[in-house]
Amino acid sequence: MSSVRMQIERELRSAIAADVIIPHYQPLVALDGDRVIGFEALARWESSSLGRIGPDVFIPMAEEIGLMPLLSRQLLRRACLDAMTWPSTFTLAFNISPVQLRDPTVGLRILSILAESGFSPLRMEIEITESALVENIALAQATIDELRAAGIRIALDDFGTGYSTLGQLLSFRLDKIKIDRSFVSRLNESNDGRVIVRAILGLAKGFGLTTTAEGVEDAGQLAYLKANGCTEGQGYLFSKAVPAADVPALLNCMPYTSAAA
């Protein structure tokens, strides 16, 4: 193992022990009127010695060293507390990693944190990557069923990258598909990109699923997504993920619906 990696790993262990890795929040925007309807929690780690390290690096590392369940519990606890201060109709979207999905107790753990914090499962959305789902079909289904029975919605993250077959997709009881950023970024470049996104939107609509486009960065992409019936969007065009303390300011400059749905 390289010494850089060993150093990151050592710092990661102490960051988790000190509970200093925290969620930031990126708005989820309903495309009928560009209103904020909730936030996705994205883990952020600012190491005092190494600087900012991205979740693409430390989440897989935490999985490898067996600390992801602990880190995920810390993040979910904090996210629930933060989300309790938002307008009462807002959803909280939370990612669970492929390794976590192999743990048959993960559903129970999520539900007990919600119960402890008093955050309603009806406002919670759990994001599972398409590849994680396909890797662990039987266990994933049991966890999904358990969460959905409690009222939590399930979103299939990074859709289009995990090689699931239509049959596999249909056998899961899902609520939402998140179209991977790689497809959204191709909307401007090629007709192929547009054909793929339109096909995914049509498929999702046919199955009664909500759709979120990830990585919306410009007005052209947004217009295409709206014209083809995409329900929600997320991306730098609206906002990057912000610390909990900056959520009120963000809501001051972006429209949102606070009335009960």
CB of 228 to ligand C2E, least distance (A): 18
* Binding status of residue 157 toward Ca ion by CB under 5 A: yes
174/204 Cα distance (integer angstroms): 10
Amino acid at 232: E
Among the listed residues 28, 82, 91, 97, the single contact to ligand C2E using CB under 6 A = 97
The answer to whether residue 130 forms part of the interface with Ca ion (CB under 5 A) is no
Cβ(91)–Cβ(37) under 8 Å? yes
Q: Is 157 in the site for ligand C2E (CB under 6 A)?
A: yes
From residue 180 to residue 199, what is the string marking binding to Ca ion with x (rule CB under 5 A)? --------------------
User: What is the rounded CA–CA span in Å between residue 68 and residue 72?
Assistant: 6
Told to check if 74 binds ligand C2E by CB under 6 A, we report: no
Name which position in 38, 193, 233, 235 contacts ligand C2E (CB under 6 A).
235
170: amino acid identity, one letter: L
Q: Is 84 exposed, middle or buried (0-12, 13-18, 19+ CB in 10 A)?
A: middle
CB of 75 to ligand C2E, least distance (A): 5
Distances 252 to 35, 69, 107, 119, 246 between C-alpha atoms, Å: 12, 35, 35, 23, 10
Binding site for Ca ion (CB under 5 A): 95, 127, 157-158, 214
Binding site for ligand C2E (CB under 6 A): 26, 41-43, 54-56, 59, 72, 75, 95-97, 127, 157-158, 181, 214-217, 234-236, 241
